[in-house]
Amino acid sequence: MHIIESGNVAAASGVKLAKVQVVAAYPITPQTPLTEKLSEFVDGGEMDAQYIPVESEHSAMAVCIAASSTGSRTFTATSANGLLYMNEQLHWAAGARLPIVMCVVNRGIGAPWTVWNDHQDAISQRDTGWIQIYCCDHQQIIDTVLHAFYLAETVNVPVMVCYDGYILSHTYMPFDIPEQKDVDRFLPPFTPAYALCPEKPANLNTVTLPDIRPDIRGDMAPGYMEIRHNLHMDMRAAIDVVADIDQKFKDIFGRGGHPFIEPYRCEDADFVAICLGSLSYHLRDVVDILREEGIPVGVMGLRLYRPFPNQAVRDALSGRKGVVVFEKALSYGNQGALYADIKSALYTADNRPTIHNYILGLGGREIKTHHLEKALRASCTKPDTIGDTPEWIGLKM
């Protein structure tokens, strides 16, 4: 079914199609319409799920942790300071290896208070052990929600589906809602390896000693360090799983093909702009303008941010003359977080391009096409004049 609706409705539709069993909900702008739509689905009998309103985002993640521990497919959503309020529970969900899916409707964080879009919320949580996938339009939102449940339940690592507040969450765009029978072919039922059961009581995630030790059966169990190592290695292995899931989805629905990086006019590009989220589609207009001037430039949207697809980035960018990283977040006191990751991926490349970093759009500051055009043109025509220090677009000082 082809409809025109908001990005939040696209996300809610994906959650319904995934047959989620428990939804934990606490409102925060601009995520609120997503969980409101899910409440309508549940109240109207379109979803056979428990909808649990809670008193805070911390509690929302606690509900998801409890429900997932009993073998239920679970979902929640949040934004900005709500995501930060979950921080302790985010680490717990990842360390417990629970396949929770959460939509993060990206918004700037306080103080000072803002309700507008940037990526600082999700970027600040990149080291909590959650997989992060970024969406560029409404079709990617609904499709990625379905991907996320498959991925989380395959590798037993929770997944954030990130998309831009207002720019995507509240705008209306056309997208296709898959048929339930096709989704059922794609996404198998959730069958956890272990689930809490009243008939077989157990303790989960108790105090873990620094070293390995015998468990209650006398078998040697991993210590804290081994548990962290296993999470890291399984996240790295998830990169291949992401590609496999994307291919299965494409075989059924005909969409996909770019699980890590979505390129535009990059086949013959000497210079490539790269960013997260809907900004990559905005930059396509800039690329078209510069192409008319004979400047060989393209743009790539990074879809998978954690685990970071180092090899895919290296393959896509090494041998170019220049890479230009645009981002709506900052690692304070250093540079853009994405910029640092791109540089790290290219460190071992034989033919490293110049790399420039632009910070823009923080707290919803308007991103104007002519500002992007000016910055990208400068990076393409005078790459040696721009150093390693991030430059700010739209800053008024």
CATH number (domain holding residue 123) = 3.40.50.970
DSSP character string of 36-48 = HHHHHHHHTTS--
Q: What is the mean pLDDT of the chain?
A: 96
Does residue 208 sit within a domain?
no
Mean pLDDT to the nearest integer, 213-224: 85
Q: Tokens for 270? A: 């000497």
For residue 217, what pLDDT band results from cuts at 50, 70 and 90?
confident
Segment 105-146, tens digit of pLDDT: 999 999 999 999 999 999 999 999 999 999 999 999 999 999
Residue 388: its pLDDT value, please? 87
User: What CATH number has the domain bearing residue 289?
Assistant: 3.40.50.920
Segment 15-28, tens digit of pLDDT: 999 999 999 999 99
Mean pLDDT to the nearest integer, 82-103: 98
Does residue 344 sit within a domain?
yes
Kindly tell me the burial class for residue 104, based on how many C-beta atoms sit within 10 Å of its own C-beta (0-12, 13-18, 19 or more). Answer: buried
Same domain, 265 and 372: yes
Residue 206: its pLDDT value, please? 80
Give the angle subtended at the CA of 172 by the CAs of 167 and 177, to the nearest 5°: 115
Closest CA to 272 of 355, 378, 161: 355
Closest CA to 394 of 155, 116, 39: 116
Mean pLDDT to the nearest integer, 153-173: 98
Domain that holds residue 33: 2-186
Q: Given a cut of 80, is residue 252 above it in pLDDT?
A: yes
Does residue 219 sit within a domain?
no
Residue 197: its pLDDT value, please? 85
Closest CA to 11 of 186, 137, 108: 137
Mean pLDDT to the nearest integer, 39-56: 98
Residue 258: its pLDDT value, please? 97
Segment 264-298, tens digit of pLDDT: 999 999 999 999 999 999 999 999 999 999 999 99
Does residue 332 sit within a domain?
yes
Closest CA to 299 of 313, 286, 312: 286
For residue 386, what pLDDT band results from cuts at 50, 70 and 90?
confident
Same domain, 277 and 382: yes
Residue 204: its pLDDT value, please? 82
Strands (E), 189-343: 213-214, 220-221, 261-264, 271-276, 297-302, 304-306, 322-327
Q: Given a cut of 80, is residue 384 above it in pLDDT?
A: no
- What percent of the chain has a predicted confidence (pLDDT) above 90? 90
Closest CA to 18 of 72, 73, 98: 73
For residue 301, what pLDDT band results from cuts at 50, 70 and 90?
very high
Lowest mean pLDDT among 102-116, 172-186, 201-215, 353-367: 201-215
Does residue 245 sit within a domain?
no
Residue 213: its pLDDT value, please? 86
Same domain, 325 and 180: no
Q: Given a cut of 80, is residue 364 above it in pLDDT?
A: yes
Does residue 25 sit within a domain?
yes
Using CA atoms, how far apart are residues 54 and 234, in angstroms rounded to an integer?
Answer: 32
Mean pLDDT to the nearest integer, 33-57: 98
Using CA atoms, how far apart are residues 98 and 65, in angstroms rounded to an integer?
Answer: 7
Does residue 200 sit within a domain?
no
Same domain, 34 and 174: yes
Same domain, 146 and 271: no
Residue 387: its pLDDT value, please? 80
Same domain, 271 and 164: no
For residue 102, what pLDDT band results from cuts at 50, 70 and 90?
very high
Higher pLDDT: 208 or 60? It is 60
How many domains does the structure of the chain reveal?
2
Same domain, 139 and 277: no
Q: Please check whether residue 168 is in contact with residue 144, taking contact to mean a CB–CB distance below 8 angstroms.
A: no
Residue 201: its pLDDT value, please? 83
Segment (H or E) for 69: helix 57-69
Last residue of a domain, one of 154, 171, 186: 186
Does residue 328 sit within a domain?
yes
Q: Given a cut of 90, is residue 310 above it in pLDDT?
A: yes
Last residue of a domain, one of 163, 186, 209: 186
Last residue of a domain, one of 186, 211, 241: 186
Mean pLDDT to the nearest integer, 43-49: 97
Three-state DSSP state, 325 = strand
Q: Please check whether residue 75 is in contact with residue 64, taking contact to mean a CB–CB distance below 8 angstroms.
A: yes
Q: Given a cut of 80, is residue 385 above it in pLDDT?
A: no
